[in-house]
Structure 1
Amino acid sequence: MGAEKEEPVAKKQRLESYPNVPRTISTFSINSHKHPLNVKPSGNVFLTLDNKELQQARAQSLGYLNRFSDDLIMELISFVDDDITTLKNLSHTSRILYAFLFDEEVWKRAYIKQRNQEVIWRGSWKCSVLGFDYQNQAKIKLPDNLLCSDLLYRPYQLSQINYKTIFAKVIAEEEIYHRDSLEGNLKQLPSGRIPRIPESDLDLTLFNNEYHDQPFILTNSDSQRWPRWDLASLLKRFPNVKFRQEAVEWSLNDYSTYMNSNHDENPLYLFDCNSVAMKTLRKEYESPSIFQQDLFKYFNVNDGVNNCRPDHAWLIVGPQRSGSTFHKDPNYTSAWNAALTGRKLWIMLPPNITPPGVGADEEESEVTSPVGIGEWVIAGFFNDCLKMEDCLIGVTFPGEVMYVPSGWWHSVINIDESVALTQNFVPMSKLPNALNFLKNKRGQLSGFHPSQVKSTLDYLLNDALKDKGDTDEDIRILRQYRNQFNSLNLSDELIDEDCGEMSDLPPMPVFELFKQLMIMNGKTTELQHGLEKLTKIELKNYERITGKSQAWEKLIGDNDNKDSSKECNKTAGFSFGFDFNEESSDDEAQ
C-alpha cells in the first residue's frame, strides 16, 4: 500500500491560534500638528463669535470676498489660470489670501498646466513654480483664530501623518505573523487578518480549486526570489529615464527629489508600465508559478505584432504616506503585488460590500470617496471598516506577495518608502467572471485602445478567420464593428485613446474577440465550460433583478417574457439588458 499523500502545510497550521486583539486605531496623534501660518480648525470659530476685532480684521483682509464661504473663495481662485504672476500677486493682497494661496493644490494645478516646461523641484509646488526654496518662503503668521478653516488646515494636517505611529500595533502584530511564516511556525490568525501561505505549499491546481477567491499573502524564505531593487539601485541604472507619476512624467532623479521633500496631502505615486526602464526590468523577474496562468495573454496575437491587451505589468514606487484609495482592479482581473522594499498596509473587502466612506452607483461605474487616504483614515472610516465582519487587513513585508482576487475592493497605504511590482491576470478559475464582465459590463472596459483592437481585428478577419461566414454570430459582430469603426474617421489622437475615456464610440466587441482568441489557442473546451457557467451567472442575476424565475415563467406561460426566456438559452453575443453585478458570481459559477 502506497504512502498517503501528505496534506499541504497550508492546511496543517491550524493547531494554535494567536490571541484576538482590538484592531481599531486612535487618530489622536494626527490632530496635534500646528499649521505653519497659524490657520486653525473650523471649530475654533466659536471662540471668535464675540470678538469684534477679529471679525473686523477678517473683513478688512478679504474685502468683498468676506461675504463668501471658504469653499467659494477657493473655487474662485481655481479660475485664475492666465499666468502664475496673477496667483502670486493675489497672494500678496492680504494675510488671509496669502494663507489661501499657501495651499499646495492651487500650485500643483498651475505646475501641471505648464508641465511642458522643465521645473526644478524645490520642496513644494508653490516654490517650484515660483522658483525659490521651501525654506526661504515667507511664513506670515496669522493672529490666533483670525482664519479658522478646515479647508485650509486639513491638507497640511494630513501631510504630517505618521502611519508608523498610527498603525504601530497592527504593524507589530503583522511582523510576528511574517516572521513566524518564514520560520514555518505560523499559527491560526485572528479573524479579520489576511492569511499567509508559503509559496512552496501552493500549486496551480490547489490555487484554482481552493484559493482563487480569497486574498492571501504569499511568503517565500528564499531571499533571492525577487530582484533586490530599491530606489537607490534604480537611480543608479535609470537616473534620467522618464517615468509616469500620475499627472506628471518626471525623470527618476526628479521624482526622487520630490519623494524626499514634498508637503502633499496625497504624495504622487510612480505607477509605470511603458517606460524604457520598465521594458528592461520586466525581463529580470518571473511571476510566481501559481499566477502564470493568464488567459488575457491571448489578446497578444501574431507574435506580438498585433497586441490589444490592456497594460498589465507595472513598477510601483512611492514615498511613505502614498498609496491608493479603494478601488477594484480593471476588467475584473485578479492581481499580485510583490513588495521589494518597504511595508504596505492593505485593507480589503469582498465584491458585494462597498467600503465605508465610498460611494458607488449600482453598476460601480462611478466611484466617489474622500480626496485621499489620509482623509479616509482621519474621518474614522478606517475604524468603521474594521468593525465589518468581512473586512480583512494585512501588512506585506519585503519579499511577500499579496494576491488580490478579481472584484475585491482594496486600499493600500505605504508605511515606508516602497518599491513594488504588480501584474493583473485572469486564471482559469476566473474565466466565467471575466466573460461576464466583458459581455455585460462593456461600458466599464478600460485599457483597450481602438487602434489596437482594430489592428487585431484586421489581422484576424483577413487571415485566421477569413473563411468563416457571417452565419457565425461572433464573426458577424466583429465585421460589423470594423465597418462602423472605419466609417468614423477618427483623429490619430482619438484612435489611440483608452476606451474607458471615450463615450462616442460603438461598444468594442471585446467579448466576441476574446472568445475567438481562446478558440484559436486551443481552449475551446475550457471556453465552453466558462460560457456554461456564465449562463448560470446571468440567470441568477436575472432572477435577482426581476424577482422572477425562468422556470416559473415557462410554467405559467408568461407571454410578456417569452422572448427573454428564449434568449436565456443563447450564450454568445447576448445581454439581458440589465445591470449585471459580478459580486456573487464566483460561487454561482462553480
Structure 2
Amino acid sequence: MDREARVFAESHFRGLEGCLPRRVGPQLDRVDFIEKPDSFSYADFFKGYLLPNLPCVFSSAFTEGWGSRRLWVTPSGKPNFDYLLQNYGDVVVPVANCGVREYNSNPKEHMPLRDYISYWKEYIQGNYSSSRGCLYLKDWHLCRDSSAEGVFTLPIYFSSDWLNEYWDALDVDDYRFIYMGPTGTCWSVNICGRKKWFFFPPGQEEALRDCHGSLPYDVTSPTLLDSRLHPMRDHCSPPLEVTQEAGEMVFVPSGWHHQVHNLEDTISINHNWVNGCNLANMWHFLQQELCAVQQEIIDWRDSMPDWHHHCQVIMKSCSGINFEEFYHFLKVVAERRLLLLAKGMGPGKVEGGKGTRLGPEQAAFDIGRIAEVLESVVAHPDFQRVDTSAFSPRPEELLQQLEEAVAATTSL
C-alpha cells in the first residue's frame, strides 16, 4: 500500500462514521474481468474492489507460474491423478457427501487421498454416477498437513491476510484450502476444470430466506418460486453469474451470498481471509453469533451458573472463535504492526517493490482499523464480562497504544 491508497482508504472509513457499509449492495450487471497482471496494481485492486467490496475475476495469466497448474494437471487439462497419488496419496483428507443434507450442509468423513481418487476414477468411469453418491474433497489444509512448496504463490493482491498471519504466528491452523470434485458438486483459483458461480450482493440474501428464516440449500431450486415458502423472493434481484475457467481466480467479497457448481472435474485452491477492510464486518458477525447463542439458551439465564461464560463456550464451538479469542487475534496483528512502525520505518517512506507487500503505510492503516474495532470490543457489555486479568497487555492498554500510534502516524 502506498500513501495515496492509505489516505484514500482512511477517508473512505471516516465517511462511514463507524458504521458498516450499506447492507444492500450495489446493483451490478456483470463481474469485472481483469486481464493483464502488468497493468493492474495492488492499488487498483484495493481501491476498485477490496475497499468497495466488489467481486472480480482475474485471468489465468495471474496464476500461470503456479506449480500446481503445471504438475497437478495433465496436458489435456484433466486432474493428474498419478502425480497426486505419488505425492499426497497417504494424506488423510475431509470428504463431503453432496447427496446428503444434515442441518443444511453436507456430512463429512475422512479418508486417505488415494481412496478418494479411487472413488473419483470410479465415478468418472460410471458416467458420473456411483452408489456412494457424489463425494467432494472439501477444506483440505494442504499447507498445514504437508509441504505446499511450489504449489501456489500467494497473489500480491491478497497479501494483507490477517487470518493466516494469526494462525501462522500460533503455528496451529490455517485458512488455506484445497477442493477437488467431479462434475455436479458444489477466492478461489481453478487449477483445472470449470465452475459456475452465483453471486448475491450483501442484503439480497434476506429476500432468499424461507418462511422459517433459513437460507436456501440451493439457490437454483424451483422451490424458491413458491411464494408461500419464500415470501420475499420477489424482492431479490437475479444473481450475478460467472463461469470460472481453468487458471482463473475469483475474488469473493465479504457478505456476498454465493453458490458454486462444478461444471467439470475440478481442482481449486481457496483462501479465506480477513484484513482491515472487512474487520468491522467480522466483529459485527461475532456479535450476531453471540446474540443467536444467547437467544437459544435464554431460558437458562437465571438458573445456569456462569451463563454468559457458557454462551462464549458455545459460540466458540459453533463459530470457531469467541470474544476472548477475537481479542487475541487483534492483539497478535496489532503488535506486529506496532513493531514494524517502531523499527523506524515511518509512513511516507518508500516501500519495497511496488508498494504492495506489508509496509509502513499498510501497517499504519491496519493500526487505525484495529483501534476503531477494539474500541467497540472494549465497550461491549459481554466482553466486559470476560476475565482479562491475565491478558498481556490488557485490552485498555493495547487500545491506548494503538490510539497513540494513530495520532503519531496521522500527523506525518
Q: TM-score w.r.t. structure 1 length? A: 0.41
- Is 1:377 matched with 2:194? no
Q: Deviations over 1:399-444 (max 9, x none)?
A: 1001000111010000001001011112332233234334564468
Matched position secondary structure for 2:54:
coil
Aligned partners of 1:241 and 1:275 also within 8 Å: no
1:204-243 to 2 correspondence within 5 Å?
204-212=42-50, 213-221=53-61, 224-226=64-66, 227-228=68-69, 229-230=72-73, 231=79, 232=81, 233-243=83-93
How far apart, CA to CA, are the structure 2 residues paired with 1:382 and 1:342? 31
Aligned to 1:117: none
Cα distance per residue 1:491-531 (max 9 Å; x no partner): xxxx9x9933489xx95413322332233112585355325
CA distance in 2, matches of 1:415, 1:382: 24
Partner of 1:45: none
**1:531–1:571 Cα contact (<8 Å) kept:** no
Matches within 5 A, 1:350-365: 350-354=201-205, 358-359=209-210
Please tell me whether residue 529 in structure 1 is matched to residue 344 in structure 2: no
Check whether the contact 2:199–2:259 (CA below 8 A) recurs between aligned residues.
yes
Counterpart pick for 1:195 among 27, 32, 45:
32
Q: How does 1:309-328 map to 2 (within 5 A)?
A: 311-323=174-186
2:9 is matched with which residue? Answer: none
Aligned residue type for 1:377: T
Q: CA separation in 1, counterparts of 2:110 and 2:134?
A: 14
Relative distance call for 1:507 and 1:434 in structure 2 (3 A) is closer
| Cα gap change, 1:517 to 1:242, in 2 (>3 Å) | closer
Letter paired with 2:90: N
Alignment of 1:360-509 (within 5 A): 367-370=214-217, 373=218, 377-379=220-222, 381=224, 388-389=236-237, 391-438=239-286, 441-442=289-290, 499-501=316-318, 507-509=322-324
Question: Aligned match of 1:294 in 135, 138, 161?
Answer: 161
Residue of structure 2 aligned with 1:344, choices 185, 192, 195 = 195
Deviation of 1:208 after TM superposition, in Å, equals 2.0
Do the aligned partners of 2:330 and 2:370 also contact (CA within 8 Å) in 1?
no
CA distance in 2, matches of 1:251, 1:394: 32
Supply the distance in 1 between the matched residues of 2:197 and 2:162 (Cα, whole angstroms): 26
| Residue in 2 that maps onto 1:119 | none
Q: Does 1:280 align with 2:143?
A: no
> Cα distance 1:215–1:512, how it changes in 2: closer, same or farther (>3 A)?
same
Alignment of 1:60-79 (within 5 A): none
Structure 1 SS opposite 2:278: helix
Tell me the secondary structure at the aligned position of residue 395 of structure 1: strand
Aligned to 1:196, the other structure's residue is in SS state strand
- Determine the structure 2 residue equivalent to 1:132: none
Aligned in 2, Cα 1:254/1:288: closer, same or farther, shift over 3 Å? same
Measured against aligned partners, the alpha-carbon deviations of 1:73-104 in whole angstroms (never above 9, x if no partner) come to xxxxxxxxxxxxxxxxxxxxxxxxxxxxxxxx
Mapped partners of 1:277, 1:507: distance in 2: 23
Pair 268,357 (structure 1): closer, same or farther in 2 beyond 3 Å: farther
Q: Which amino acid aligns with 1:210?
A: G
What is residue 137 of structure 1 aligned with on the other side? Answer: none
> What's the counterpart of residue 95 of structure 2?
245
Q: Distance in 2 between matches of 1:360 and 1:510?
A: 34
Letter in 1 for 2:216: S
Q: Displacement, 1:292?
A: 1.2
* SS of residue in 2 equivalent to 1:437: helix
Change (3 A) 1:273 1:347: same
- Cα shift at 1:285: 1.2
Instruction: Decide whether the 8 Å contact of 2:95 with 2:138 is kept in 1.
Output: yes
Distance in 1, matches of 2:113 and 2:381, equals 48
Which runs of no fewer than 5 residues in structure 1 stay unpaired? 1-189, 324-335, 446-483, 489-494, 536-569, 578-590
Listed one character per residue, the Cα deviations across residues 120-160 of structure 1 (whole Å, up to 9, x for unaligned) are xxxxxxxxxxxxxxxxxxxxxxxxxxxxxxxxxxxxxxxxx
Relative distance call for 1:386 and 1:443 in structure 2 (3 A) is: closer
Q: Secondary structure at the match of 1:281?
A: coil
Q: Would you say the 8 A contact 2:162–2:274 is kept in 1?
A: yes
Measure the CA separation in 2 of the matches of 1:289 and 1:533: 26
SS in 2 for 1:280: coil
Change (3 A) 1:204 1:399: same
Structure 1 stretch 424-433 or stretch 212-221: which is displaced more? 424-433
Counterpart AA for 2:365: E
Which has the larger Rg? 1
Do 2:289 and 2:315's aligned partners in 1 also have CA atoms closer than 8 Å? no
1:98-177 equivalences under 5 Å are none
Q: Deviations over 1:267-320 (max 9, x none)?
A: 22101434689522355211211011112244247xx4x3466x3001110010
1:355–1:380 distance in 2 versus 1, CA, 3 Å: farther
In 1, Cα distance between equivalents of 2:114 and 2:144: 13
Q: Structure 1: which amino acid aligns with 2:163? A: F
Partner deviation per Cα, 1:23-72 (whole Å, 9 max, x = no partner): xxxxxxxxxxxxxxxxxxxxxxxxxxxxxxxxxxxxxxxxxxxxxxxxxx
Counterpart-to-counterpart distance in 2, 1:403 and 1:357: 22
